[in-house]
């Protein structure tokens, strides 16, 4: 894949292979792990602008960044109130972040029915106001969106132009409509059309699980870079494979992830989270089914560590 730096506002990323914001997964430890493996930019999981405006401790905990993280700090927020979104960007909680991404792509019914995420694509006037208000904060503002509500109502070019005209510094496009959630083929033509319609960087997202997937998406869309979502959950080492870095000792990396997650987020969270993550990592390996059953029955992170010692990644 063609590797290149991306200029976002006045910042320059080390490469054009990014980690997507993933609710419940892209915590500080996982972001640092992916950055060390070669990810040029990583985003926090999406956080509520309202939660930030009301000083929610639980919301602010999602923004933790490890002291050793060496990359550009980027956060994703969601909401539908322009004033609240601007206030969130100006909040003390987001002061450490260089880039703020606006979520206009989440298809989850709870978010959509609340007028947030991908529902904003049904009201581009409001979406534009949100972007322009967030820009008043002085932050670099990016947007992540979908191509429309369904395959018959794609508005990708219209959305891309709106984002650029409203002041967005970069646009990431998930090449599926809202109604297909994460299933079906990625519509590369829509991403390509949007890329050709604007001057700001356009990042292609959707369906990347291998190096070849990333290469194909870049070639077919002409995008400036790619953003990896679920593919990174199953294989964070994909960043090393695409960028040509040494993946290192995978087992040691997983054990370190367990230890750091436990240290920062506590035993209970680490146990539940790492049971899932370790199960993702062994997908497709010999004996994966029986090893997942073993992980499910782990009651402590020490038991997960013992199970990981017997796994092949």
Q: Tell me what pLDDT residue 313 has.
A: 85
Domains of the chain and any CATH numbers: 7-243 (3.20.20.70), 250-309 (1.10.1200)
8 in Cβ contact with 169 (< 8 Å): yes
SS3 of 281, please?
helix
286 — pLDDT class (breaks 50, 70, 90)? confident
Q: What is the pLDDT of residues 44-56, one digit of tens each?
A: 999 999 999 998 9
Q: Are the CB atoms for 126 and 80 separated by under 8 Å?
A: yes
Neighbouring residues of 253: CB distance < 8 A, sequence distance ≥ 6: 33, 236
**Phi and psi at residue 194, to the nearest 5°:** -65, -40
Read off the pTM.
Answer: 0.96
pLDDT in tens, 160-180: 999 999 999 999 999 999 999
pLDDT at residue 284 tops 90:
no
Mean pLDDT score, 277-282? 96
Q: State how far the Cα of 276 lies from the Cα of 165, in Å rounded to an integer.
A: 41
Catalytic residues: 106
């Amino acid at each position: 894949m063609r590797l290149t730096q991306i200029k976002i506002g006045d910042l320059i990323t080390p490469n054009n292979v990014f980690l997507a914001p993933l609710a419940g997964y892209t915590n500080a430890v996982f972001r640092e792990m992916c950055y060390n493996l070669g990810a040029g930019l990583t985003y926090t999981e999406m956080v509520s602008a309202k939660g930030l405006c009301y000083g929610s401790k639980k919301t602010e905990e999602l923004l933790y960044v490890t002291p050793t993280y060496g990359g550009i700090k980027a956060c994703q927020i969601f909401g539908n109130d322009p004033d609240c979104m601007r206030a969130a960007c100006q909040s003390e909680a987001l002061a450490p972040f260089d880039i703020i991404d606006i979520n206009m792509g989440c298809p989850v019914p709870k978010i959509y029915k609340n007028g947030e995420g991908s529902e904003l694509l049904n009201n581009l006037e409001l979406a534009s106001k949100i972007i322009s208000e967030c820009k008043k904060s002085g932050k670099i503002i990016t947007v992540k969106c979908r191509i429309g509500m369904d395959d018959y109502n794609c508005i990708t070019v219209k959305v891309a132009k709106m984002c650029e005209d409203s002041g967005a510094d970069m646009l990431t496009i998930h090449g599926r409509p809202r109604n297909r959630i994460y299933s079906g083929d990625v519509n590369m033509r829509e991403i390509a059309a949007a890329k050709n319609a604007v001057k700001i960087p356009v990042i292609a997202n959707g369906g990347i699980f291998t190096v070849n997937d990333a290469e194909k998406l870049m070639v077919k869309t002409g995008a400036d870079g790619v953003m990896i979502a679920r593919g990174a959950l199953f294989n964070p080492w994909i960043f090393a494979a695409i960028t040509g870095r040494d993946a290192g000792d995978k087992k040691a990396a997983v054990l370190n992830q367990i230890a750091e997650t436990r240290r920062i987020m506590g035993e209970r969270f680490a146990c539940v989270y790492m049971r899932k993550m370790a199960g993702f990592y062994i997908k497709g390996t010999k004996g994966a089914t029986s090893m997942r059953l073993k992980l499910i029955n782990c009651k402590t992170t020490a038991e997960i560590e013992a199970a990981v010692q017997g796994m092949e990644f």
